Structure 1
Amino acid sequence: MALLFLCDGEDADVWSAALRAEIDDLDIRVWPVGVGDPHDIDVALTWQPPRGVLASFPNLKAILSLGAGVEHILRDPELPPGVPVVRLIDPGLKSGMVEFVTMEVLAHHRRVSEYRAQQAAGEWRLLRQTLSRDRRVGILGMGHLGTACGEVLSRFGFPVAGWSRSEKDIPGIESFSGEDGLFALLERTDVLVCLLPLTPETEDILDATTLGALPPGAALINAARGMHVVDDDLINLLDSRHLSGATLDVYREEPLPPHHPFWTHPKIVMYPHAAAWTLPESASPVIADNIRRTRTGQKCIGQVDTRRGY
């Protein structure tokens, strides 16, 4: 039995050391040059695997994502059927996302971008401030990350509501679900946070219709996937002043092309997909646990419904 490490751009030596600190005799094969006999591979740890590669391992029993999302795995039309796909539920990644979302909600709430622009212009002017209890936050996607962000934001005094496929019961967070629930949430939201999984149903969900349903002056934070946002619609709503600003961590194409209008838009704050990182020191215990579970016939923590995409 061997683990396949199929993560282009990641340091295989660092990850191997961290994983062997959890399972000292773990056999790790690094794609593409160190795979050996493909029949040995029973678990794959991967991020953005090339099309068809995973189908070449006949004894594969689990596919573990090196991140919270799994769309990079599920989009492979040659994905081996019946093999469990597992998203990463990493306490470090969760902590990073909570920090990022809280930071950006507070930045929109306290009008940080406007004060920075005034500083650059040499302008001294107080901007009207709103109490946190009067700044309504809406979160799209109330899974592991969305719930954690909502719980922290509610402790700052923000009225928090969340939208998901099915209704949730989370103390202190108002729950919305379904298409009607989506627009009900949007209409009561001043800062919208997108943490949705990327599926065929959620692609392009943030378009002129949905973003236009937000109250005038609302702001957007997208830390999910770039394919959730229709870029031109977002720019039009910012230019018309219907939206006051947007924080973007993810994009349809990454790295973002140098001539994309997001780079120079005065109402957009950009990050290079940096909201929350998967770090070996926090993720390795979780990954090791799922390797053990796979090899003892137990269900992995974070196994997704491949039909739904999450």
Structure 2
Amino acid sequence: MHNLAILSRDTTLYMTLLEEAQLPFLALILADNKLPESFDYSQVDILFGDPDLTAQVVNRCSNLKWLQSTWAGNAALFALDKNNYQLCGVKGVFQQAMQEYVFAYLLYFSRNLAGFNQAQKHKIWAAPTYQSLAGKTLGIMGVGDIGQAVAKMAKQFSMKTRGYTRTTNNCEYIDQYYTYDDTQAFAAGLDYLVCLLPQSSETTGLIDQKFLSYLPQHCVLINAGRGTTIVDNALIDAIKNQALQAAVLDVFEHEPLPEHHPYWQLDNIYVTQHTAAESLPEDIFPIFSENYRRYINGLTLQHLLDFNKGY
């Protein structure tokens, strides 16, 4: 029998899904959306939950064998010294949501929806300027399954695509690949830039003043990867100096974003409160269920993460 603990803001939904699944040889010994201090965590050999919650107890789980995260980002767990267990992420469930998010803003800017709205308010019949996405160049930083889905959608709009990646180079929807050594060539001439990079030592602070200086003035930056990738002061300066058309930010180094942060005040920065592609229990639980069946049968788990790489 395996002892499972669930720690998630969606614990109630996960309990319902678990009951319906009737997984064999599994005892649920804890299910909560907070951290009970009096609980004996040494009983737990399988942990399922939100990384910011599980990170607070994982060191007390002395017999932990496998942790299934409910989120794509697991920086809180990678920040700990404990790594003598299998950590699995979630993949294959965020593509459509990210496609919708990215292209909502690409179309917002290309079709100049704000301009049309202002023209309507002032009863101006003369149409404001607008553009098509066709023929425009989209740079995608991070070409995993989500980045590839964004590239695929870009091709539906007849866009040109560039991929910025350390490893992946086989996506049919990417016209040209660039590595971390080709940053200037990658950034030059982009009309839109979407950052989907994970948090790691290599990506932290990657989008700094130097990187931003390579982007054209009309470029729109969208960051739905990790907040630590962007140097905040560099982006704020770029927006204030009109060196960049706009920035759409879904993720931040500190969340919730502090009320005093300059991002709230700048007209050409759009804050979307980490909602680009949320983890929904009905999407996440099947990953846990499949991995559990693999676990009890001695098979390799899906979406295993690398503690050395941080993703």
Q: Distance in 2 between matches of 1:42 and 1:294?
A: 12
Give 1:54's aligned amino acid: V
Asked if 1:225 corresponds to 2:258, the answer is no
1:85 paired residue number: 87
Cα offset, 1:119, TM superposition: 5.4
TM-score (norm 1): 0.90
Asked if the contact 1:195/1:223 (under 8 Å) is kept, the reply is: yes
2:41 paired residue number: 38
Alignment of 1:253-268 (within 5 A): 253-268=254-269
1:11 paired residue number: 10
Give 2:21's aligned amino acid: E
The verdict on how the C-alpha distance between 1:42 and 1:50 changes in structure 2, with shifts beyond 3 A counting, is closer
Q: Distance in 1 between matches of 2:292 and 2:308?
A: 23
Structure 2 unaligned segments of length 5 or more: list them.
none
Asked if the contact 1:167/1:177 (under 8 Å) is kept, the reply is: no
2:275 paired residue number: 274
Q: Distance in 2 between matches of 1:131 and 1:258?
A: 36
Q: Distance in 2 between matches of 1:36 and 1:23?
A: 25
Cα deviations by residue, 1:134-159 (Å, 9 ceiling, x for unpaired): 31111100112111111112111111
Asked if the contact 1:49/1:73 (under 8 Å) is kept, the reply is: no
Cα offset, 1:85, TM superposition: 1.4
Cα deviations by residue, 1:246-299 (Å, 9 ceiling, x for unpaired): 111111221112222211211111111111111111221111111222222222
Q: Indicate the SS of the match to 2:245.
A: strand
Asked if 1:22 corresponds to 2:21, the answer is yes
Asked if the contact 2:161/2:176 (under 8 Å) is kept, the reply is: no
Cα offset, 1:241, TM superposition: 1.5
2:71 paired residue number: 67
Count of aligned positions: 305
TM-score (norm 2): 0.89
Cα offset, 1:203, TM superposition: 0.9
Q: Indicate the SS of the match to 1:172.
A: coil
The verdict on how the C-alpha distance between 1:187 and 1:152 changes in structure 2, with shifts beyond 3 A counting, is same
Cα offset, 1:40, TM superposition: 3.6
Cα deviations by residue, 1:157-212 (Å, 9 ceiling, x for unpaired): 11111111124111131242422333222113110001000111101111111111
Moved more, 262-271 or 13-22: 13-22
Q: Indicate the SS of the match to 1:4.
A: strand
Q: Distance in 2 between matches of 1:218 and 1:143?
A: 23
Asked if the contact 1:70/1:85 (under 8 Å) is kept, the reply is: no
Q: Distance in 2 between matches of 1:40 and 1:206?
A: 43
Cα offset, 1:55, TM superposition: 2.3
The verdict on how the C-alpha distance between 1:82 and 1:177 changes in structure 2, with shifts beyond 3 A counting, is farther
Asked if the contact 1:52/1:76 (under 8 Å) is kept, the reply is: no
Asked if the contact 1:90/1:286 (under 8 Å) is kept, the reply is: no
Q: Distance in 2 between matches of 1:12 and 1:50?
A: 13
RMSD, matched Cα: 2.3
Q: Distance in 1 between matches of 2:11 and 2:100?
A: 27
Cα deviations by residue, 1:40-84 (Å, 9 ceiling, x for unpaired): 42221132136562122232221211111221210123x2x3312
Alignment of 1:236-247 (within 5 A): 236-247=237-248
Give 2:58's aligned amino acid: L
Cα offset, 1:124, TM superposition: 5.9
Structure 1 unaligned segments of length 5 or more: list them.
none
Q: Indicate the SS of the match to 2:6.
A: strand
Asked if the contact 1:167/1:175 (under 8 Å) is kept, the reply is: no
Alignment of 1:152-171 (within 5 A): 152-171=153-172
2:60 paired residue number: 56
Cα offset, 1:108, TM superposition: 2.2
Moved more, 16-25 or 203-212: 16-25
Q: Indicate the SS of the match to 2:134.
A: helix
Q: Distance in 2 between matches of 1:88 and 1:257?
A: 28
Moved more, 38-47 or 218-227: 38-47
- Percentage identity across paired residues of the two chains: 28
Asked if the contact 2:119/2:128 (under 8 Å) is kept, the reply is: no
Cα deviations by residue, 1:12-37 (Å, 9 ceiling, x for unpaired): 12111123322355422225339855
Q: Distance in 1 between matches of 2:202 and 2:293?
A: 33
Give 1:84's aligned amino acid: Q
